[in-house]
């Protein structure tokens, strides 16, 4: 934890949602539906939920990923599972192996975003 910085905290999903005003959802894609069921009401009360989770065949299974794609893709399905949230989809194309390298570089790393909630999209862009 110390390498994450002095304000980093570890906790449960419930604690993270209670702690943050803006929630960055970075979980295995298979967890999103359950998070929506258990914490949807609490997430809906947040100004912004940014989802950068991706369905990955080798982790989540080929059939699961095919099902997500058949339903319109990760963004459409997450919006269904997190129905009442102010959701913005972040297009995460940075592999976990490159995060440490990117953190050492000067400047910012951009992540394209999209969403139907204009207020949430504007907040995410800033």
The structure tokens 């702690």 sit at: 19
- The pTM for the full model equals 0.81
Provide φ and ψ at 93, rounded to 5°.
-120, 15
Handedness of CA 85, 87, 93, 96 (dihedral sign): negative
Q: What is the pLDDT of residue 4?
A: 67
What residue ranges in the chain does DSSP mark as E strands? Answer: 22-25, 48-51, 87-90, 113-114
pLDDT in tens, 6-22: 777 788 999 999 998 99
Decide which of 39 and 107 is more confident. 39
Report the C-alpha gap between 30 and 17 in whole angstroms. Answer: 18
List, for residues 68-94, the tens digit of each pLDDT value: 999 999 999 999 999 999 999 988 777
The predicted structure's pLDDT at residue 9: 79
DSSP state of 71: T
Above 90 in pLDDT, residue 2?
no
Tokens found for residue 17: 């949602």
From 121, 112, 76, 120, select the one nearest 94 (Cα to Cα): 112
Q: 48-65 burial, b for 16+ CB within 10 Å, e for fewer?
A: bbbbbbbbeeeebeeeeb
Q: What is the mean pLDDT of residues 93-100?
A: 70
pLDDT bin (cut points 50, 70, 90) of residue 103 is low
Number of Cβ within a 10 Å radius of residue 90: 20
Q: What is the pLDDT of residues 26-68, one digit of tens each?
A: 899 999 999 999 999 999 999 999 999 999 999 999 999 999 9
pLDDT at 102: 66
CA distance 58 to 37: 25
């Amino acid at each position: 934890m110390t390498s994450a910085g002095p304000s980093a905290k570890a906790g449960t999903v419930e604690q993270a949602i209670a702690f943050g005003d803006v929630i960055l959802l970075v979980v295995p894609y298979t967890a999103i539906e359950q998070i929506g069921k258990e914490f949807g009401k609490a997430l809906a009360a947040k100004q912004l939920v940014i989802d950068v989770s991706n369905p990955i065949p080798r982790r989540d299974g080929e059939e699961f990923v095919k099902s997500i794609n058949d339903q319109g893709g990760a963004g459409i399905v997450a919006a269904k599972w997190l129905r009442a949230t102010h959701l913005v989809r972040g297009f995460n194309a940075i592999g976990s192996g490159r995060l440490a390298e990117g953190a050492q570089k000067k400047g910012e790393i951009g992540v394209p975003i999209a969403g139907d909630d204009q207020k949430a999209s504007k907040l995410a862009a800033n």
